[in-house]
Every structure is written in structure tokens, then in C-alpha cells.
Structure 1
Amino acid sequence: MTLSLLCLAGDGIGPEIMAATKVVVEAACTRSGETVSLADGEIGFPALNAEGSTIPEQVIEAALAADGVILGPVSHNAYPSREDGGLNPSGVLRKELDLFANIRPAQSFKGLATPTGAPVDLIIFRENLEGFYADKNLHSGPGEFMPVPGVAMAMRLITERGSERIGRAAFDHAAANGRKKVTAVHKANVMRTSDGLFLDVMRRIATGYPGIQYDEVLVDAAAALLVRDPGRFDVIVTTNMFGDILSDLASELAGGLGLAASLNLGPQNAAAQAQHGSAPDIAGHDRANPTSLIGSAAMLLGHLELVRAKALIEVSLKKAIADPRTRTSDLGGPLGTQAFSKVLVDLIQEADT
């Protein structure tokens, strides 16, 4: 059976790293004997100029119909207002596809120094549809408002159902992948009601996994511990904004956002997504490191049970990054985006399956 993947390049460096990702995905699937069909759709400024919206309705429909989505970075901070078509494609897809879990591994690479000198190997499960983020947390209308000039307020949404889904996903992953501990990160000493509800659900779920250690850490302490002792963590489960911030910190400690993979997961749909932004300052210069999007695509292939293709991509990334001669310029190497993707293709073609 051929699986269909919708590729949405986005803005800035998006088209360059998407082209590199597609080449690598096709090479891995060809080498493994697994079949995918890659289709393109336009989002971001190209879609705004052509269709009047940064994510046209037909793109949402195509994403719903596809087996998976590969989502490039977007320049949503530079978009016009929502009324003028400037929607955040990432937020729209998460809501429309019910992508409740944002899964972000942070793993250091052999041969590549980390900022603290300590190896990193953890994974963060971030609730993806609730919290303080105003574009996603309410059925109708934003979660931010200004009752009088000079006074801005925000509402935080935490539900038992949302907490249950992300908690189950984190514990199930730990159980299936030999992880030994799940840590719930929170701020219940201040947000007693909302984070209190979140923790109540995590504690209940934990009782069903007696073989997995469970603990709780305040978010500010978790940030400090990630820097001081990243080995303290195995699987982190947390709410939306905390997960967004901590996953960027963890990824930087593991080598940088340019290396960080990410998968958005829902009951029926999934979307691979680079953790970093669109970097318009280097767009078109063949300088972007495509590792984040390529690694994210590998996670998507694994989720779709194309495990051989996933392994081929991940092994090729480790080999290329371990060798200073085959790194991109941001990692001190000599290669541009296209040359790096060619190295990965060559490694995939030479690999044992």
C-alpha cells in the first residue's frame, strides 16, 4: 500500500529544507522497499498571495485526507491580521486535525559537543491544543482580550480530557520504548486549580503503569535541572506553553534547534514539523540545516509503520553529523543544504537494510 504525505514547504528556508527532506524520504523508502507518494501544497506567504489566505481551505482538506503531513516553518509573526488572511498554518492544522500531542525528543549526537558538555536523551510530550495559546484554546474567539485600554487579560484552558490524552500518550510511549520514568512538569504551587487538575489526571494515569517511575517537578526547577543535570529526565509530560519553552531549551542543550525533530500527533492524523523558525535572513542561500525537518519526517514514517525507512534516515543523520566533513555550516562543517541532503542519500544507498 502506498502512503500519501502532504508536503507544505512554508516560508523563508522552508522550500529549501523541504526539497532536501523529500529527496531523503524518497531515497529511504526506495532503499527499504516501502512506498510513499509525496504531494505538495502551498501555505504561508505564497498561499496568501495566490489565494488570500496563508492556509486555504483546500490545503486543510488535503491534510485531513493524507496519511501524514510534512510541515515546514512559517513566518506567522509577519503575517497580516486574521481578517486579512494571516492565519497561523501550524495552529490551524493542529486544531483541524486534532493534533493533541506535540512529541519532541532531545537527543545529543555522537561527536558533536553540547553546550554543557553533558549528553542529552529525553523526550517531551507537550499538550498541543489547550493552555494559554489564544489561537487554539477556545471553540470560538481568542483566549486573550482587552476589557479596557491598557489592560490585557488571557484565559488558560486545562481540561480533564486534554490532560488524559497527553498523559496516556506519554506513559504509553515510555512503556513501549523502555523508558523508565515520566516526569510531570507544572506550576501547581501558583496555578492551583488548572495545574492541580493536570496533576490529578497524571497521578491517576501513573497508577496504571507500575513499572514506570513517576515524579513531579515545578517548571522553573525543571528549567534549572535541564541545564544542570539533563540525565535527571527521561520522559517529560506537560502543558502547552511549558512544553513549548522547555522543549526549545532541551533541544538547544542537545545541540541546537536545527537538529531537533518534532511530531504532532492526533487520533487519526499526524504532522512532522521542524522545531525552528523560517530564518528569512538566510533563505535562498543554501545555508539552512535541514536536519530538524528530515528527523521529523523520520518520526512520521515510524508512526506510519515504515520502520525501515525511519531507521535508514536516522542512522544516516547520525553518521553525517558525527563527521565534521559532512556537517552543515551552522555546525562548523563545509556543506550547504543540498550537499548535506546528497550525503544523506549516499549513506542511505550504501546502508545495510
Structure 2
Amino acid sequence: CKAFPGNPLNFRDDIDLVVFRENTEGLYSGVEFHPVPDEVVEVLGKHSPKMERFATVPRDELAISCRIFTRRGCERIVRAAFEYAKQHNYPTVTVVEKPNVIRETSGMMVRIAREIAKEYPGIELWETNIDAMCMWLVKNPQDYGVLVSSNMFGDILSDLAAQLVGGLGFASAGNIGEGYGVFEPTHGSAPKYAGQYKVNPTAAILAARLMLRWLGEEEKAERIERAVAEVIAEGKVRTYDMGGSASTLEMAEAIAEKAGRG
């Protein structure tokens, strides 16, 4: 999420945030129970005395969602964040969790982040709780660069970061595995706007920039970014979300023309 000067929707003009979100584990793992089977309550009760106060709740009035972390999953996302920070000269990586309350899962993520940080002496590790991070991003977003978090917290952070730079029309994302990557605008398909021809295409175009960067095509990625920056700075072509009347195609063509000039 990068703020392009000249965008009337920017919270500030000096924001450049990258959110690394683990998206295969955590609360979105899909391991949930409702109503909760007796054996699940019994097993949890044996391992945690805190489950005792829920033991008499009728099973159809009880719901459980499991927050599952693995060491491999934590290591993978944290290392990816540090590698990105190293490659693109970010001085800090901020791990955003809630280990003071969610001690086991968030605690695992933070401990692993500390271990991996030792391998990157030129990058400082910051640790911030998710609730405080939301406050600090609104107060001082320019102080942060690379953020890394678990699935749900990363989901929250990415939408917050997107709004700071103008909204979902300006935020792109990549779903990156060990050998494959899928890139998209963070707004997804936005079916309610289908056929209206007014949606800002910048996020989709910046997703192509992310893809090219991942493929090692840095010069082409930079060309796209410069083109977007120039069009926004000029302010001649703006879609409805920016207070203008340009169509999706008109905005895309303006950016393509700039990119074609190099």
C-alpha cells in the first residue's frame, strides 16, 4: 500500500506499507464446531482448566473456532517478510500479534520472529499488539514499512492500510507460495460494480506490478509504478472514487500511455 502524491484520498503522502499475512492457518483454518460435540468439550477440559466455565453450556449454544499455528507456517511468513525488507531496503519489520492475551499462538509467532530476526542484523524487529498497531497506523503510518501477521490480524491490517492510501482502488495483493504466485486487487471481483465501467483500475494495474516484481522483472515493475504515479500527480484523469468522472478504461489508458513512454 503506497501513497501516490496527488491522490486526494491519501491520508498522508509519505506512506509505503507492505503487509505480509499468513493465509493458510490461524482462525481462518476452518476448524470449527457448532454445536460442539461432547468429546471436544471433554478433551479441552482435560487440557485447560479455563474450559471448565463452559462445560455446562448447552452444546447447541456453544461454538468453537480453532486458531491453529504451525512452526513451519510462522517461519515461512516471517522469513518472507524479512527477505522482502532486505531486498527492498526497509529498515524494520514489525510483527503484529497479541501475545499478552493469546499466549500460545501469538506467542509462537513472536518467538519465531525473534529467532529469524537474528539472521538479519541490518533490519530491526519491532513487536506491536494488533490493537495498538491499528492506533499507530492511523497516528503515524509513515513510521512503518513491512508488517507481518497471522491470518485474521493480517486481514484487518491490510484493509486499514489500503484505506490510508486511498481505499481498495489503490491496493494490490499477492498470494505467494513456494513456487507459484497469484496476484489481484484487494477489492476482489466487486460484482456490485459489474457493467458500470467506473471502478478504479489502479489496484489491478499495481497487482501486475507486484507480479512483475515477484518474477524479477524489476525495470518493468518500476515502469508501471512510475506511470501510475505520473497520472495521479497530474490529476487530469480521475475515477469516481477520486472525485472525477473518468471511466475504468480512460484511467487504464492514461496509465498505459505513460508506461509505454517508459
When normalised by structure 2's length, the TM-score is 0.87
Q: Which of 180, 195, 203 lines up with 1:269 in the alignment?
A: 180
Mind listing any 5+ residue stretches in structure 2 that lack a counterpart? 37-58
**RMSD over aligned Cα, in angstroms?**
1.4
Tell me the CA shift for residue 150 of structure 1.
2.8
Contact 2:162 2:168 (C-alpha < 8 Å) held by counterparts: yes
Query: Once the two structures are aligned, what percentage of the paired residues are identical?
Result: 38
**More deviation, 217-226/289-298:** 289-298
What displacement does 1:115 show?
5.4
1:207 aligns with 2:95: no
Q: 1:145 maps to which residue?
A: 33
> Partner residue of 1:43?
none
Instruction: Find out whether 1:182 has 2:77 as its counterpart.
Output: no
Residue type at the aligned position of 1:122: L
- Paired with 1:183 and 1:321, the residues of 2 have a C-alpha distance of 29
- Structure 2 residue 21 is matched with structure 1 residue 126: yes
1:310 pairs with 2:226: no
Query: Displacement of 1:209 after TM fit?
Result: 1.0
Cα distance between partner residues in 2 of 1:330 and 1:113: 10
Runs of 4+ in 1 over 6 A off after TM superposition: none
How far apart, CA to CA, are the structure 2 residues paired with 1:215 and 1:331?
34
**What secondary structure is seen at the aligned counterpart in 2 of 1:285?**
coil
SS in 2 for 1:113: coil
Mapping of 1:158-197 within 5 angstroms? 158-197=69-108
Q: How does 1:1-353 map to 2 (within 5 A)?
A: 106-114=1-9, 116-117=11-12, 119-133=14-28, 137=29, 142-146=30-34, 147=36, 148-351=59-262
- TM-fit CA distance, 1:344: 1.7
**CA deviation profile, 1:101-122 (whole Å, cap 9, x unmatched):** xxxxx21111113454463112
Question: Would the aligned equivalents of 1:179 and 1:235 in 2 still touch at CA under 8 Å?
Answer: yes
Give unmatched runs, 5+ long, in structure 1: 1-105
Larger radius of gyration: 2
Task: Please tell me whether the aligned partners of residues 324 and 332 of structure 1 are also in contact (alpha carbons under 8 angstroms).
Answer: no
Say which SS state the counterpart of residue 183 (structure 2) adopts. strand
User: Which whole-Å CA distance do the structure 2 matches of 1:149 and 1:346 have between them?
Assistant: 60
Which whole-Å CA distance do the structure 2 matches of 1:191 and 1:178 have between them? Answer: 32
Where 2:252 maps in the other structure, the secondary structure is helix
The alignment covers a number of residue pairs equal to 239
What's the CA shift string for 1:107-160, capped at 9, x where partnerless?
111111345446311211111111101xxx2xxxx3111113232210011111
